Amino acid sequence: MKPTIRQKIEAAVHVVAQEIDPNLNPGELKLDQIVVEEPKEPSHGHLATNAALTLAKALGQKPRNLADRLVEALKDPEGYLLSAEVAGPGFINFRLSVKWWALALAKILEAGSDYGRRPPTGQKVQVEYVSANPTGPLHVGHGRGAALGDSLARILEFTGATVTREYYVNDAGRQMRILGQSVLARLLELKGELSEFPDDHYRGQYIVDLAKDLLADPSLSPPNFATLDQASQVAFLSRYAGQRILADIKKDLLDFKALQESWFFESSLYERGLVDQAIAALRAKGHILEKDGAVWFLSKPFGDDKDRVLIKSDGEKTYLAADVAYHQDKFAKGFDLVVDVWGADHHGYIPRVKAAVEALGYDRNALAVVLIQLVNLCRGGQQVSMSTRAGEFVTLRAVLDEVGPDAARFMFLTRSHDSPLDFDLEVAKAQNRDNPVYYVQYVSARIFSLLDKSPFKPSQDLDLTLLTAPEETDLIRHLVGFPEAVAAAGRRLDPHGLTIWLTATARLFHQYYGRHRLLDEEKESLSRARLALAGAIRQVTAIGLNLLGVTAPEKM
């Protein structure tokens, strides 16, 4: 819609410019500054432009006079423009004809499932999301990150990027040691050899189950497990428990339709010497300082609030050291954009990682960090506590079993990632308009039923100019805006805008369905046109839902 009107405006500008000054170089006209947009006030028309205001000075004209001349020069032999009117200091407001909206709808129908899809851009993007430590099951907070990360990857692919999804497995360090110690403590407790379970250990039922499985099946442990020293026992149990938990995480994400192409293990950074290589690279660039027996990254010059330790005085490498190496590896693979989806508690970590990216010689703006705010899960009006260490949390699996992946994914995306989310389990299960995903999915089911009941046989005889009702124009106009809604979600790295768009689609369609008869055998031509509109609505709704990882059902 906008590109076509823009072409007409630019053609009119060239005509008027030649009339004013035949010797004017067209290159002097800053056409890229012309804006074509929808007016904030719907009564002003369908589109508006600032062309006269932008070009008045270059053409030596008063803006309103130039606007009058542009309106006169606008050529529309096809009859797509209903009117072009000058308003205010020199804006031009356009109203589009029924013929225009009919053509727009025909193009949507012709595009099919590719409507809104953009051609490949050549941009390589990595989206890393969830990346929860394999020390416990995924909880609902991880679910929100999974829904956003996977949906964002779908949107970026749909808008032309080549996307790789990755999960960073934190399988090294203190938390994994505590996991092994926790399983060992439960083993001793089950054998009656431990009187009190340590407070700083993981306490969930899953730890007990892991220990019980080891006792029930001795083949899961090495034959000499009982004779190993405690450090060796903890090392084995860390690996054993981490692998079991990670297998469950993979299954949860598979059932949640949040697929990962790559699983990157933190331990591989050390095994491949990448941490030492990253520190050496920083040292070679003059960004390392050795002080008080420790190795420091001089991150302050790159926007961090203070310099950071990479290697402690006792020789132990910090978490940041591994993250520096990990991000160096990301950019070394040639990604143009790296998107990290993190929990909100990592906010203070962003400057130091961006500092490392820049210090290593990469564009800090090529790293985008999306922070996920907390999920407040409610049950019976009471907020459920979620602490992995204490074992008091609701798992993503439990939510999937209760409400299903469609409802869970849509609910997670009903608010922007930078706002806390109240997830009401009862609302997510409701079969009425209070449930946002039901309200949107019912569009698909209702239209499928309508098309299935249609007595009309397929025909090429379709007159879309019969769609003259205001509700029909509003629906087509809304569908025309879908590609920009998807593109905006990709630019903002926030799929939330699509849930808003889909909910608005559902509201417009359900209102339309309630006010107009879509199947009328006495008005076959009008019914065919209305069914075509309904088909387009279902088609675009299905595309939008798929970008969120949600199905468009035929029956409900």
Structure token digits, residue 180: 């092994």
If we measure between CA atoms, which residue out of 253, 546, 501, 489 comes closest to residue 370?
489
Q: For the chain, list the domains and their CATH numbers.
A: 2-96 (3.30.1360.70), 102-120+431-547 (1.10.730.10)
| Helix (H) or strand (E) run with residue 7 in it | helix 2-20
User: What digits encode the pLDDT tens for the residues 370-405?
Assistant: 999 999 988 766 776 655 445 556 889 999 999 999
User: What digits encode the pLDDT tens for the residues 487-523?
Assistant: 999 999 999 999 999 999 999 999 999 999 999 888 9
Q: What Å distances lie between residue 185 and 235, 407, 549, CA to CA? A: 13, 38, 41
61 vs 111: CA distance, rounded Å? 42
Spatial strand order of the sheet with 294-297 comes to 288-291, 294-297, 308-311
Structure token digits, residue 310: 């990479």
6 vs 18: CA distance, rounded Å? 18
pLDDT < 50: residue spans in the chain: 388-389
The pLDDT of residue 388 is 47
In this prediction the pTM is: 0.92
261 vs 269: CA distance, rounded Å? 19
If we measure between CA atoms, which residue out of 146, 161, 1 comes closest to residue 81?
1
424 vs 380: CA distance, rounded Å? 9
Dihedral-angle region of residue 74 (phi above 0 means left; psi in -120 to 50 means alpha; beta otherwise)? beta
Burial of 32 (0-12, 13-18, 19+ CB in 10 A): exposed
Helices 63-73 and 2-20, packing angle to 10 deg: 110
- What letter does residue 316 receive in the DSSP assignment? P
103 vs 108: CA distance, rounded Å? 9
279 vs 308: CA distance, rounded Å? 12
The pLDDT of residue 472 is 97
210 vs 214: CA distance, rounded Å? 7
Whether residue 550 contacts residue 437, with contact meaning beta carbons closer than 8 Å, is answered with yes
Structure token digits, residue 365: 């703006």
Helix (H, G, I), strand (E, B) or coil at 115: coil
Structure token digits, residue 381: 């009006």
